[in-house]
A and B are shown apart, each in its own frame.
Chain A
Amino acid sequence: MTAAASHAPLAGAWSRARQRFFRHAPGDDQSVVLRHSRIYILPSRRGWTMIATIVVMLLTSLNYGLSLGFAVTFALTGLVAAALLHAFRNLAGIEIRPLAASETFAGGRVAFTLSASGGERMREAIEVRAADAAPFVADIPVGAPVTFRLERDAPMRGRLALGRVTLSSTQPTGLWRAWSYVHFPLSGIVYPQPEPGAPPLPRGLHGHDISAPGQGEESDFSGLRDYQSGDPPQRVAWKAVARGAGWYTKEFDGAGGGGPLPLEWAALPRGLDVETRLSRLTAWVLAAEHAARPFALRIPGATLPVGQDRDHRRTALTMLALFSPERAP
């Protein structure tokens, strides 16, 4: 047996223990109920101050043989111990479930939402914190789940995982900090940042050239059709909505609403690096959507046929977001 093989079970146990205690990997399922095995409690800063005080009181009572000094010291110790149980009780039994993660462009923020319900007890001042997200503190009332929204900075395209979430509370006395880790496989998509000042959209299949998106829209208005989910908001006939006449989407002819656009990786100038290409394609996807033109997208290893709606756009942006540079020719 080799040394490596003999170490393997040990390493496995070590990583299992790490996972058990620190939840490094996103091993949690749809919803997690916080139980004793997940709840950790240590004294807070104030708790340590109090414990130190108790030690001083104890030494004083010992030295001067003050029976009543012991009584008061231990009554205070009892209070601190009871506070520990309450800190545990404030966290135990909370059910937390992942709800959703938003999408954003690189440089923006991904919002993750989680819901927590406290069951038949009011939970006080539960703090939810994840990585660099600003912590969220709220009471969880009886029988009503609370939605927590955590926003993380998204500096780079790709997937942004929520990571490990820490629920903690120092209630009811602030002497103990009880906390618990949950790690859901929840991640948001970060699209590439649209290239600022990107060149205009390439020629369409029908030989049109798009000079600038949105130009001449009003003049080439051709009519209304029923609103479909995913239509861009700027195309909605808001006046009709405001009148209460129903939901319609404006349709355009001519230069603005030309034929399908092929957005091709291969057609971009040589010499552009991968990220710039992705940024430019992202800008173009947005421009095409803005101009309400159907488009197709082809990048190494993936192809998206012509289409035009919100899902199409999302698919395209997701393709760009998750593009792996190894596939670049």
Chain B
Amino acid sequence: MRPAARRGRRRARTSSPPLSATQIRWLGALLVCAQLPQAPHLPLWVAAFGLLLVGLRLALLRRDRARPDAPPARIPSWTLVLFAIAAALAVRASYGYLLGRDPSVAFLYILVGIKFLETRTVRDGSLLVALASFLLVTPFFTSQSPLSALAVLPALLVLGATLDVLARPPGHASERRPPQALARAGALVLQGIPIAALLFVLFPRIGAPLWGVPGETGAQTGLSDTMAPGTISELSLSDAVAFRVDFDAPPPPPVQRYWRGPVLSRFDGQAWSLMPRPGTGNLTPWSAGGVSYEVTLEPHGKPWLFALDLPASLPRPAGDDAPASADAGFAFLARDQQLIARTPVTQVIRYAQRSMLRDAYPQADAEEAREYLRLPLRGNPRTTEFARELRARHAGDRELVGAILAWFRAEAFVYTLTPPLLDRDPVDAFLFDTRRGFCEHYASAFVVMMRAAGIPARVVTGYQGGEVNPRGGYLIVRQSDAHAWAEVIVDGAWQRVDPTGAVAPSRIEIGLSQAVAAGEPVPLFARLDAGWIKNVQLAFDALNHEWRRNVVGFNRDRQRELWRDLSIDRYAGWQIAALAGALALAWAGVTLALAGFAQARRERAQALWGEACLRLERAGLPRMPHEGPIAYAARASRRWPQFAIAFSAIAESYAALHYGPPPARPGEHEALVATLARAVDVLPGAAQLRATAA
């Protein structure tokens, strides 16, 4: 590199003043505060490495201070570039790709540490503050719990304090002590809260992402579009919340709580999958006895919405009154009575829903039935043969269904979360060899038997049951409530049949933990007997539910609901802008007033002195333009000797206030103002002064 260019660049870099040790320590504190909330969501090595880099810089600083005469520790910039490249490669190796949301966050997390290592000037400091600010948003990619929100607060406070510390001019004697800086930052944050709330409520939200689909939903748990043996039992090991439901009336009994999800119609001998073209179905007519409720659905990255069997309305975004028409709404009803959103559910959504609690609905057309009879040509021969045998014995479809359920009940089937692995002809192996299975085994085997016997049938997945939280009265449906059942066409109508209920009735009536044997790996919160832990957890969940509904779930629909309550036309942007502007102005006025901005009036000492001078002037002794306070007081004392003490007190305290050195002790200034005020108070009015002089 040519030396001239190099010098030029160095000069440009150093034109910003260098950071003091205190400022560097504040920046370090800010970075740690910004990194910590993100750390739990990162691979361990990333979390540790980022923090380590910040620690390294602070340790170097400490070393420099211990040896003030040694040259300051410097890490050459080119090594840091190499460092950054190495970090990028390592992140790529860890995630498998680099250009995506999560690896980018991990890289940024490390990058702030690297940048901090070479941060020397105030300008570098500003950049770091900006990067740290962005880090405050990233933890919410993975978790928007109240705890995550709390974890960000310290960083916000330290950010304000760091800005304040950075703003002190270089070489300024008074660097702030940490409590002082934090207190000032706290005041700024508090004063900013009205603006934050205003923007939070009024800033227009959008319904769809700006760029691409935020595809990386990560390892979100939930029902998938296929079901192989083991899919649902694996899901049942998670006590993550799938959705929460507020009912308008008391929740229906557990036996009726079938939350309909993906309907699986295709079978390849091993796994069940969705029908490719779902078509459009007819809603069950709404009538007395139906239930209406509101679902707060956690994001699961798939388009399905959940409703109690059978949906009697399309889901309406909470707060939207207009009944959604078939094409306009954000979701539609498929021919198999499944509710499907037009975009995948990647954020918490709330929707109002109505259902009729029925277990059968009329078949749409006879053609459709043939689809539900298909079986692979080969495979599961024993099941097929057994089904045909039963068919021969039972003429009516209903009798056949009843016979199979009775057979499940009679034989030694075991309901378990840990069934043995089945590889070839899994239905045969399950029905005639192992006889240990979870709901997906029973539903799958039942549907295969039905189809083999010539009765159209399919698998319905979803959730069954759920737990009513006594605090708040809403229903919590967890992943551990995931379930699979069957639907068959009997007498021209789709009829729900749950073979699991035949084997383990308590699964349907009470819940998972009652249905499986003791010692099975049921998740903690799916147990009913966990005592006080359970109580604490329910209380926490109630809080979380409110949080989900009102804070995290504050989306475009909630916002429109609010605007409607405020009688604002949802499309009148100017009304909202005007409202926001007026409120912001009000905020500025109130904040300035509360911050002691009654400053338009003159300084008190000036006002008191002016008052005293005015009185003397009216009494016939105006102050000469060249006359200082002491000389004026002396002249006044000669005219009115009886008030000499007051005159000299006024003049001396005013002179000390106005011309004296800055107050050395706190309170000195106030004491002088008080003296001045008392002395002015003692001084008689102009009329009396005139009278006494004469």
Say which size band chain B's interface belongs to: 35 or more
A74 close to B196 (CB less than 8 A): yes
Structural contact, B200 and A74, CB atoms closer than 8 A: yes
Question: Counting CB contacts under 8 A, is B172 at the interface?
Answer: yes
B 659-672 binary contact with A (CB < 8 Å = 1; else 0): 01111000001001
B209 touches A63 (CB 8 A): yes
Contact present for A67 and B591 (CB under 8 Å): no
Cross-chain contact B137 with A60 (CB below 8 angstroms): yes
Cβ-defined contact, A72 with B136, below 8 A: yes
A92-B599, A117-B603 known; A69+B196 contact, CB < 8 A: no
Closest to B605 in A: A143
Which residues of A have CB within 8 Å of B159?
Answer: 76, 79
Tell me if A's interface is mostly helix, strand, loop or mixed.
helix
Stretch at the interface among A169-177, A178-186, A230-238, A268-276: A169-177
Contact B137 A69 (CB under 8 A): yes
Q: Are B555 and A125 in contact (CB under 8 A)?
A: no
**Contact A50 B129, beta carbon cutoff 8 Å:** yes
Contacting B at CB under 8 A, from A30-76, are 35, 45-46, 49-50, 52-54, 56-57, 59-76
Instruction: Kindly identify, within residues 224 to 275 of chain A, every residue whose CB is under 8 Å from any CB belonging to chain B.
Output: none
Residue A67 contacts which of B189, B554, B587 (CB distance < 8 angstroms)?
A: B554
Asked if B184 contacts A68 (CB within 8 A), the reply is no
Q: Are B205 and A57 in contact (CB under 8 A)?
A: no
Q: Is the CB of B192 within 8 A of A78?
A: yes
Q: Does A80 contact B (CB under 8 A)?
A: yes
Bound together, the chains give a CA A62 to CA B126 distance in angstroms of: 25
B141 within 8 A of A: yes
Chain B positions within 8 Å of A79 at CB level: 156, 159-160, 185, 188-189, 192
Q: Is the CB of B144 within 8 A of A173?
A: no
Min C-beta distance of A232 to chain B, whole Å: 26
> Which of A50, A61, A121, A142 has a CB less than 8 Å from the CB of B133?
A50
- Does more than half of chain B's interface fall in helix, strand or loop, or is it mixed? helix
Residues of A contacting B189 in the complex (Cβ-Cβ under 8 angstroms): 75, 78-79, 82
Q: How far does the Cβ of A282 sit from chain B's closest Cβ, in whole Å? A: 32
| Closest residue on chain A to residue B209 by CB atoms | A63
Closest partner residue, chain B, to A170 (CB atom): B167
Check if B551 sits within 8 Å of A71, measured CB to CB.
yes
Please indicate which of the listed interface residues B192, B194, B551, B663 has the most CB atoms of chain A within 10 Å of its own CB: B192
With contacts A76-B136, A81-B192, A82-B195 known, is A68 near B660, CB below 8 A? no
Whether the pair B140, A65 counts as a contact (CB closer than 8 A) is no
Contact between A172 and B164 (Cβ–Cβ < 8 Å)?
Answer: yes
Closest to A52 in B: B130
Residues in B with CB closer than 8 Å to A306 are: none
Contact mask A116-137 → B, CB, 8 Å, 1/0? 0101110001000000000001
Chain B residues with Cβ below 8 Å from A54 are 133
Residues of A with C-beta under 8 A to B660: 144
Closest partner residue, chain A, to B657 (CB atom): A143
Chain A residues with Cβ below 8 Å from B133 are 50, 53-54, 57, 76
Max chain A CB contacts within 10 Å: which of B196, B588, B597? B196
Smallest CB-CB separation from B161: which chain A residue? A173
Which chain B residues lie closer than 8 Å to A46 at the CB level? 126, 129, 163, 166
Q: Are B188 and A86 in contact (CB under 8 A)?
A: yes
Does B148 touch A at the CB level, under 8 Å?
Answer: yes
- Given A65-B347, A65-B555, A173-B163, A83–B134 Cβ distance below 8 Å? no
Q: Evaluate contact between A61 and B196: CB separation under 8 angstroms.
A: no
Shortest distance in angstroms between A75's beta carbon and chain B's nearest beta carbon?
4
CB distance from A128 to the nearest CB of B (A): 13
User: Shortest beta-carbon distance, A48 to chain B, in Å?
Assistant: 10
Are A72 and B663 closer than 8 Å at their CB atoms?
no
Contacting pair B599 A68 (CB below 8 A): no
A-B pairs with beta carbons under 8 Å apart, 21 shown:
A45-B126, A49-B129, A50-B126, A54-B133, A61-B137, A61-B140, A62-B209, A64-B347, A66-B140, A66-B141, A67-B551, A67-B552, A70-B205, A74-B197, A80-B192, A81-B587, A83-B163, A93-B600, A137-B169, A172-B188, A175-B167
Chain A interface residues toward B at CB < 8 A: 35, 45-46, 49-50, 52-54, 56-57, 59-83, 85-86, 88-89, 92-93, 95, 117, 119-121, 125, 137, 139, 141-145, 170-175
Q: Which 9 A-B pairs give the minimum distances between C-beta atoms?
A: A78-B192, A174-B167, A93-B599, A65-B347, A78-B196, A78-B195, A82-B191, A74-B196, A144-B662
